[in-house]
Amino acid sequence: MKCTAATLILAVSCHAAWTGADAQTCAAPGPWHPDLTGAPPTSADTCTLPDSVALYCDFLDSSQKGDAIWQITYAAGFTSTAIAISGGSATFNPVIYLYSSACTLGNQCVSSGDTRTPLPLTGIAPRTYFLGATAAAGDGAGACGLITLRTNRYYPVELQSFDVI
């Protein structure tokens, strides 16, 4: 079967435009690989996601609120200095947490942010982290909505595995 150039270009364009919505749960964290400029952003609808983490940072309650989860690996030389979250409504105040414990525990937080204050990355050690987005601890049960994450630069990823076929 031959693939025309137009079909190939369309397929590559659609893949490049897709920014998220992989499973984004602790069982299947979503990937996020921004380029040198920090593009593309990644998005999620926490209303369609389960409550994967009951507490963040050992005490911030996110029980009964959907969590979007990404697993990211900062390799030496990353240049990203912050992650901003946008979205929200009168009853949904999105927050983000970068932590290094097991995904469902949500503890060993190293940084956090909200729609007013981006999550700072200055001084973050190269390693693998979970990035969780959810409703603020003060929001009511079931608080959820659409969120978008953006970073100002890139982070090189470490090769985890590859197949030669």
Q: Considering the domain boundaries, does residue 4 fall inside one?
A: no
Exposed/middle/buried for residue 81 (C-beta within 10 Å: 0-12, 13-18, 19+): middle
Q: Considering the domain boundaries, does residue 120 fall inside one?
A: yes
Q: Considering the domain boundaries, does residue 96 fall inside one?
A: yes
Question: How many domains, in total, are found in the chain?
Answer: 1
Question: What CATH number is associated with residue 135?
Answer: 2.60.120
Bridge partners, residue 89, by sequence: 92
At 147, the amino acid letter reads I
Q: Considering the domain boundaries, does residue 156 fall inside one?
A: no
Residues 43-77: tens digit of each pLDDT: 999 999 999 998 999 888 888 999 999 999 888 88
Q: Considering the domain boundaries, does residue 60 fall inside one?
A: yes
Q: Considering the domain boundaries, does residue 12 fall inside one?
A: no
Which helix (H) or strand (E) segment holds residue 96: the answer is strand 94-99
- How far CA 107 is from CA of 22, 99, 139, 147, in Å, comes to 23, 6, 20, 22
At 71, the amino acid letter reads Q
Task: Give pLDDT, residue 110.
Answer: 94
Task: Give pLDDT, residue 10.
Answer: 34
Q: Considering the domain boundaries, does residue 159 fall inside one?
A: no
At 65, the amino acid letter reads K
Task: Give pLDDT, residue 75.
Answer: 84
Domain residue limits at 37: 19-151
Task: Give pLDDT, residue 84.
Answer: 97
Exposed/middle/buried for residue 85 (C-beta within 10 Å: 0-12, 13-18, 19+): buried
Task: Give pLDDT, residue 141.
Answer: 93
Backbone phi, then psi, for 5, in 5-degree steps?
A: -60, -40
Task: Give pLDDT, residue 9.
Answer: 34
Q: State both tokens at 16.
A: 């490049």
pTM over 0.75: yes
Residues of the chain with pLDDT under 50: 1-20, 158-160, 162
